Structure 1
Amino acid sequence: MSTTDVDANTVVLAADRITSAIRAMQPVEPLRDLLGVDDITLAYTVQEELTRRRIADGAVVVGRKIGLTSPAVQQQLGVDQPDFGVLFADMDMSGADEIPSRRLLQPKAEAEIAFILRTDLADGDLDDEQIRAAVGHAVAALEIVDSRIANWDITITDTVADNASSGLFVLAEQKLTLDEFEPREVEMRMYADDVLVSEGTGAACLGDPLNALAWLARTAKEYGNPLRAGQIVLSGALGPMVPTPPGTRIRAEIGPLGSVSATFSRKEG
């Protein structure tokens, strides 16, 4: 059996394990027994297979999310770069009265800046000027991260394969252009049931959330699936993530972008 055959079989086995977690709504064992702990390319191949399956089932891609933008988290997982996952339309909970806790296994909330692109980032040098020009506007956002891996026992390969531990997301209504604020200068405070639980700044996200966007644009192009106009990009956490059990109300204030909030339903079934 060739190495290619082995990898193809491994991809299917890993994707099947994540699929089983989603269908049964039960976390599964880590994937590193199949993927190892440092083969990021193989892990992205698993993510691509899971994305292919979702699209085949009718899901619509609306953007990407960037993870591992914090140096502390990178050090914890032994990596020196962020990762990314895919955002689907049914993950968007903007305007919903409640976040459906029954759709989540081990949710945690992060406060972020979301960029909505007005032009493709598929060609050219993808330098800072091009990255800024591609942003139509930004909004305050909550990313509800989730892991199909039991107890969040993840390495870089586990989280990349599991769509970068994505869950759901919420976008605020207020829109600002990059002429109206600087992402790296924002201050963030996040509250759970009105208690301050997380705080940080734009600089906590790779020095500038626009740096994260630039990294994603280049990496997505390298993987053959570049960013497109109209897509949403969740650029990475501005402070520590916090657990969100059923009944929790989360509110984040992100500088001039204003606030964004979400209430998690008490119904678990």
Structure 2
Amino acid sequence: MLTDIELHQCARALYDAERDREWIEPLSTTHPGLDKADAYRISTLVTGLKTAAGRRVVGHKVGLTSTVMRELVGFDEPDYGSMFDDWVVPESGTIPFSELNKARAEIELAFVLGKPLDMPRPTAADVIRATEFVLPSIEIVDSRFRVRGTVLDSIADAATCGRVVLGSRPRRLTDIDVRAVVGTLEIDGEVVATGTAAESMGSPVNAVAWLAATLHDFDVALQPGHVVLSGSFVRAPWLSAGQDVVARFEGCGSASVSIGRDAQ
């Protein structure tokens, strides 16, 4: 376990790295004693620094919910992080490449809550009752580290969330079989990955339930209006400047974003 001083130093380092775009070494390297409780505490402290600076928490993401994504990065469990208002990119918008570090694209179903979800062991029924609608989304996964660290670094660093693009076609869970939704990721018009939502912990509903339970352990509740990214169900490719990214979800619409050509 790290000391309180070390925890605050780690949080400040992550906050400064994102603000200044000067990437740092993984915390698991600079602080070998880092454990899971430390990582979640650092994430909470970073959130506090951001909200104190005027940023707003708009929801949370679950990461590494699919086997293919855990195998891709060499982790063996999901993680989670907070999302902020200035990370949300308008549909069909452009993300300056110079703002990114080591970015990948993921396709996910975003759950928008209409009721609070705050209990120690939420069931699928609890999640379904609390969800107002789902949206197609793209998550631009990115980190504030120079090189890949461990799952503890990912936890501390908002589960490596970089940007979020939300589509504009809401669907209610009662109108679809969310497990069977097929998603396709296209880059520059070429299909690079396809999968079904069931790859995310058997159902994206399970991923949201896991997140709510995990947050409850840290005295954090999912609130009405929160957006929850339920985890990618395809392998996430690296992104380059000038690319156009489109996520299509069978029966649930699409989302798109462009990566700017301002590479440094």
User: What is the TM-score with the length of structure 2 in the denominator?
Assistant: 0.93
Are 1:132 and 2:128 matched, yes or no?
yes
- How far the C-alpha of 1:221 sits from its partner, in A, is 1.1
Residues in 1 aligned to 2:109 and 2:68: alpha-carbon distance in whole angstroms: 19
Are 1:224 and 2:234 matched, yes or no?
no
The answer on whether the counterparts of 2:142 and 2:162 sit within 8 Å (CA) in structure 1 is yes
- How far the C-alpha of 1:250 sits from its partner, in A, is 0.5
Aligned length: 263
Residue 261 (structure 1) aligns with: 256
Given the alignment, which residue of 29, 42, 53 partners 2:38? 42
List runs of 5+ in structure 1 lacking aligned partners.
none
Q: Please, which moves more after superposition, 236-245 or 88-97?
A: 88-97
SS, match of residue 175 in structure 2: coil
SS, match of residue 243 in structure 1: coil
Given the alignment, which residue of 162, 165, 187 partners 2:182? 187
Residues in 1 aligned to 2:68 and 2:250: alpha-carbon distance in whole angstroms: 23
Q: Name the Cα RMSD after superposition.
A: 1.8
Q: Aligned letter for 1:110?
A: E
Are 1:168 and 2:158 matched, yes or no?
no
Are 1:64 and 2:60 matched, yes or no?
yes
- How far the C-alpha of 1:74 sits from its partner, in A, is 3.5
Given the alignment, which residue of 7, 27, 45 partners 1:11? 7
Residues in 1 aligned to 2:120 and 2:207: alpha-carbon distance in whole angstroms: 18
Q: Structure 1 pair 78/146, CA: closer, same or farther in 2 (3 Å)?
A: closer
List runs of 5+ in structure 2 lacking aligned partners.
none
Residues in 2 aligned to 1:251 and 1:192: alpha-carbon distance in whole angstroms: 6
SS, match of residue 217 in structure 1: helix
SS, match of residue 53 in structure 1: helix
Residue 248 (structure 1) aligns with: 243
The answer on whether the counterparts of 2:185 and 2:194 sit within 8 Å (CA) in structure 1 is yes
State the identity %.
Answer: 30
Q: Please, which moves more after superposition, 29-38 or 212-221?
A: 29-38
Q: Structure 1 pair 84/249, CA: closer, same or farther in 2 (3 Å)?
A: same
Q: Aligned letter for 2:117?
A: L
- How far the C-alpha of 1:38 sits from its partner, in A, is 6.9
Q: Please, which moves more after superposition, 33-42 or 95-104?
A: 33-42
Are 1:141 and 2:148 matched, yes or no?
no
User: What is the TM-score with the length of structure 1 in the denominator?
Assistant: 0.92
Are 1:234 and 2:229 matched, yes or no?
yes
